[in-house]
Amino acid sequence: MKIVHVFKDFYPPLAAGITCYIADVADALAERGHEVEVHVAGVHQSRVERMASGVVVHRHRELGRALSMPIAPGLIREVRHLSADIVHTHMPNPIGEIGVFLNSSPLVCTFHAQLVRQRFLEPLYGRLRSRLFDQMAAILVSGEAMASTPELANHVGKVRVLPFGVSPRLVGSGAVHQHYTGPIRLLFVGRLVYYKGLDTLLRAMAMVPNATLRIVGDGPDRAALEALSAQLGLADRVEFSGFLYDRELALSYGAADVFVLPSNSKAESFGMAMSEAMANGLPAVSTSLGTGTDWVNLDEVTGLVVPPDSPPDLATAIGRLQDPELREALGIAASQRAHDLFSFDKHVDELVSVYQRCRQ
């Protein structure tokens, strides 16, 4: 099959949950013999790149961004005229979706998240999204919470729950954190952006003296977070590691005791880094958002779940996980849940099955 993925960004260079997911899936599809293209914006001059796996990435010139959305007329024009067995768009991405809406190929979408910061655009964008859903052969979501969102209420017959899979490249041996006896080592992995709630985590750290925190990732909020860490007197216990490639990231999971995802917005729809951490045997502390994160990490089963934007509640959960027996029990359950539900190979198998049915 010729399969085309459409989004606004791609990894590399942007390391985020959706961009890394698209890159991993595109590579896996190409390795299975499919012809795969990816169309994104994100560059000053349009160009085409061929990845080592054979995936062809079309990067279209953007004139700028408004509310995180690229202004890229070339992306619309190119996607509109694509000929493919499947065009798979990743939403929300209004610019790319206009081109997909005008395309006549069989269409599949993954509905990754609701509008949050751009919610005021809903009256206008909602009409485009609904018309696009009308044209979809299948609408994929990562969990039951996303499947029940009001945006999908009129299209439930097309919705298929397909949890994201953890890339095998990000699963290490876990041997490091099994033999460590020092202060509890916390890990966060993700973009340093507003909805990740890292300010809450730093304030919680100030309440838990016998703990260290490693923050892996980069983003526009990094300078402000580093300043807050210094202001709170945490400079000797909090490390900002920046972006890490796969091997170093897998080692970071192995060298931690607990993964923390303190997000504060429904923009956090699944928590892909959390599922990666769980696959590496780490219990998780996450926040109750009414999204897929509540399904990925089960309270008192694979980790602990606390209210968002509450440093005291987050600090209490971290304090509880200083108990090595509780940590071990939750970590074993987390690893088993990841093995059962977040298999990358199974995800790709099911995705190909969806594509094949949508072609018929």
Q: Would you state the pLDDT for residue 178?
A: 55
Q: How far apart are CA 320 and CA 283, in angstroms?
A: 12
Fold for the domain defined by 2-165+343-359: Rossmann fold (3.40.50)
**Encoded amino acid at 184, one letter:** I
Whole-number Cα distances in Å, 276 to 187, 219, 326, 334: 12, 20, 20, 10
Does 168-341 match 2-165+343-359 at the fold level? Answer: yes
Phi/psi at 229 (nearest 5 deg)?
Answer: -60, -45
Whole-number Cα distances in Å, 133 to 101, 130, 151, 263, 315: 9, 5, 10, 28, 42
More confident: 95 or 335: 335
Q: How far apart are the first and last CA of the chain?
A: 12
Q: How far apart are CA 89 and CA 109, in angstroms?
A: 5
Q: Are 16 and 9 in contact (CB under 8 A)?
A: yes
**pTM of the complete model:** 0.85
CATH tag for 168-341 (out of 3.40.50.2000, 3.30.470.20, 1.20.1260.10, 3.60.21.10): 3.40.50.2000
pLDDT digit string (tens) for 217-263? 999 999 999 999 999 999 999 999 999 998 999 999 999 999 999 99
pLDDT at 181 over 60: yes
pLDDT digit string (tens) for 11-59? 999 888 899 999 999 999 999 999 999 999 999 999 999 999 999 999 9
pLDDT at 272 over 90: yes
Least confident of 72-81, 166-175, 346-355: 166-175
Q: Would you state the pLDDT for residue 130?
A: 94
Q: b/e for 321-334, b at 16 or more Cβ within 10 A? A: beeeeebeebbebb
Query: Average pLDDT of the chain?
Result: 94
Domain ranges of the chain: 2-165+343-359, 168-341
pLDDT at 122 over 60: yes
**Encoded amino acid at 111, one letter:** F
Q: Would you state the pLDDT for residue 173?
A: 61
Q: How far apart are CA 45 and CA 52, in angstroms?
A: 22
Q: Would you state the pLDDT for residue 85?
A: 98
Reference 166, options 260, 286, 249, 50; nearest CA is 249
